[in-house]
Amino acid sequence: MAKELVLYFSVYGTAKLVAEEIAKQTGADIQEIVPVTPYDGNRDHYPSLQRLAQREHDEDQRPAIRDEIDIAGYDRIYIGYPMWCYTFPMIIYTLFDKYDFSGKEVVPFNTHMGSRDGGTYQTIRELEPNAKVLEGLPVEMSDAEKGVPEAIASWLASLK
């Protein structure tokens, strides 16, 4: 049986909710992608987070990841994130710059407010040409907050 890991980055907790449900349904290990410099998780400050995310994107920044992530023993790695500026947060680029996913199955999932995956699943295929990138799961943010166990179960079944 393949060893699985759920990696996720979440500021407002919606990607975390999806990640936790995936881990629960698959029995996968789970680890948060934590930035060295934390982001403000207060939704009342969203405009500030949006400006910061746009600046990171425009300047092609690579925010540092605080903790080492050991992917060596895993065959399938689910990678989750919220959509920022119609793409994934720049810390996800850091993840792909720092770690080699060659020979692994990478399974993306994301939360969004209308942009679905924004082309990020294809971007992952381009960044990790030696990994097998499976069909991802985009989850609308409000749905993630309510819980989507059935949608996740259906998606996971489609990956088999």
DSSP 35-47: BSS-----GGGHH
Question: With pLDDT > 70 as the criterion, what percentage of the chain qualifies?
Answer: 99
pLDDT number for residue 160: 84
Beta carbons of 53 and 82 less than 8 angstroms apart: no
pLDDT number for residue 132: 98
Give the model confidence (pLDDT) of 26-67 as tens digits.
999 999 999 999 999 999 999 999 999 999 999 999 999 999
Beta carbons of 18 and 80 less than 8 angstroms apart: yes
User: What CATH number does the domain containing 114 carry?
Assistant: 3.40.50.360
State how many domains the chain has.
Answer: 1
Q: Over 70: is that where the pLDDT of 1 sits?
A: no
Q: Over 90: is that where the pLDDT of 6 sits?
A: yes
Q: How far apart are the C-alpha atoms of 139 and 82, rounded to whole Å?
A: 9
Q: How far apart are the C-alpha atoms of 127 and 8, rounded to whole Å?
A: 17
Mean pLDDT in residue range 75-100? 97
In terms of residue numbers, what domain contains 114? 4-159
